[in-house]
Structure 1
Amino acid sequence: MTYALQWLLSLIFIIQMYVAMLVVGVLYFPYALIKRDGALAACHAYCAWVLFSLRILTGMKTEVRGTPPTHPVLIAAKHQSFLDILMIFNAVPRGRFIMKKELTYAPILGWFGLRIGCIPVDRGKRGAAITKMKADVKSGLLHPGQLIIYSQGTRVAPGVKAPYKAGTAALYLQMGQDCVPVATNVGVLWPKRGIMRKRGTAVVEFLPTIEPGLKGAAFMERLEREVETASDALMAEAGFKFPT
């Protein structure tokens, strides 16, 4: 398949992806307004459609490895593009995210995000943001599920190094729950920016559970080592050439 044709199919996919967000949002709005489960159902339906249309239009397959948790747990994930958000959420029954505050103003996405229990964080105010995040998480424990945080705080392109943020350790210590690390290679095929969606297999991998009880520094060292090692292996599997 030529580059031009793959680019065109990628563009068609992106356009219909946003049209689908509008359609699903409108169809599920009454149910979501009445019950939180309605918002969760809407988000799962949207994720399923995007993953299906991605494969049909662009030839990109998606694969979930490991065992997605179904009990209340902290999920600490690698973040490379919008695709890992969809894949992780679609793999768990009651997911909700620590998300940047700006997303709450996005049409449809922002309202449904808040409705499923996502917790907005102002990334520009680090100390105050962590304090507020911990308070919001504490109040949100009334709605048990899988709390998903991106430990580097933003999308990080393949091959780029970025520090892991202290907020993940703060939640791990506060919640006293299992933490499930998640590695990914999705950025190799669905980049942080741009139109092109490449053929291949995008993977998110749920790694072995980190049980509660570690000190904050020991937890962060283990989390970063395991996620980065597994993500590097997945990216190499997808054909990514690391800088030398």
Structure 2
Amino acid sequence: MRYAVQWIMSLLFVVQMYLMMVVLGIVFFPWAVFSRKGALTACKSFCRWVRWTARWMVGLRTEVRGTPPTDEVLIAAKHQSFLDIILIFGAVPAGKFIMKRELMWAPVIGQYALKIGCVPVNRGKRSAAIKRMVTDVAKGAQKPGQLIIYPQGTRIAPGVKAPYKVGSGVLYEQLGQDCVPVAANVGVFWPRRGIYRKPGLAVVEFLPRIKKGQTKDVFMTQLQDEVETASDALMREAGFDPDGVS
């Protein structure tokens, strides 16, 4: 019975979340279409709404740990579900994601993503896309802010091991910026697919920054070790054993 009630509340939460995305997208559109600040304000308002409704509708509390960066850095984060996007973006002043090009055509999301400076990347053409993005940054064509990349390239379920792709290392090396790793346990409560939302405390944690100037290989090894170790610790804190998944 308890599971059934939680599932129904989860369904209502998901429905209202996407409805509010549309409502806020329409309300803020006249400002956002002419101003990046308007687009950022709309997106951050949505992040706050999701966190607030998740708490009282499905009992899912959220917490951001560590020190979110405010300067121009590369953020390399664990990606388990839509919730880590919300928490990371809401914590930094001007986040912009490297995103799948298909999302450009998604209603509301696509238009706002481009306005805040997200960088669309073709799957299967990632190397060329990264080179183009680095060129745009060098020319000042990209909007300033915190560039967010998911090193594993997609959402990874808790406990599942997946390789870190070289794109993060290429960006780190060529941009010449510090990198702030981010760990997460959000997938324990908010899965990459499905409706059910589990009550508890979902956390993203900004880890100590990796200073610029290391080689790509050294950086990639350090990044993977730090993010995976910290994420595993957060998942254990949430009652999930990441070593118990085959």
Does the pair score TM above 0.5?
A: yes
- Correspondences of 1:92-131 after superposition (within 5 Å): 92-131=92-131
Q: How does 1:1-244 map to 2 (within 5 A)?
A: 2-139=2-139, 143-241=143-241, 242-243=243-244
Whole-angstrom distance in 1 between the partners of 2:123 and 2:232: 26
Deviations 1:204-242 (A, max 9, x none): 000001010100000000000000000000011111123
Shift of 1:139: 4.3
Q: For structure 2, list consecutive stretches of 5 or more residues without a partner in the other structure.
A: none
- The one-letter amino acid of 1:230's match is A
Instruction: Say if 1:28 and 1:42, in contact at 8 Å, map to a contact too.
Output: yes
Moved more, 227-236 or 162-171: 162-171
Q: Distance between the aligned counterparts of 1:94 and 1:139, measured in 2?
A: 19
The 2-side partners of 1:195 and 1:177 are apart by 38
Q: Deviations over 1:150-185 (max 9, x none)?
A: 011100001111111111111111111111000000
TM-score under structure 1 normalisation? 0.97
Deviation at 1:189, TM superposition (A): 0.4
Gaps of 5+ in 1: none
- Check whether the contact 2:127–2:167 (CA below 8 A) recurs between aligned residues: no
Measure how far apart 1:123 and its partner are.
Answer: 1.6
TM-score by length of 2: 0.96
Q: Which amino acid letter does the alignment assign opposite residue 74 of structure 1?
A: L
Aligned residues of 1:119 and 1:137 also touching (Cα < 8 A)? no
Q: Deviating runs (4+, > 6 A) in structure 1?
A: none
Q: Is the CA contact (8 Å cut-off) linking 1:44 and 1:90 kept in structure 2?
A: yes
CA deviation after TM superposition for structure 1 residue 140, in Å: 5.2
Kindly report the root-mean-square deviation, in angstroms, between the aligned alpha carbons of the 2 structures. Answer: 1.3
Q: Percent identity?
A: 62
What is the identity, as a one-letter code, of the residue corresponding to 2:169? A
Q: Is the 8 A contact 2:134 2:175 kept in 1?
A: no
- Specify whether residues 140 and 45 from structure 1 end up closer, same or farther in structure 2 by C-alpha distance, changes over 3 A only: farther
Deviates more, 1:205-214 or 1:131-140: 131-140
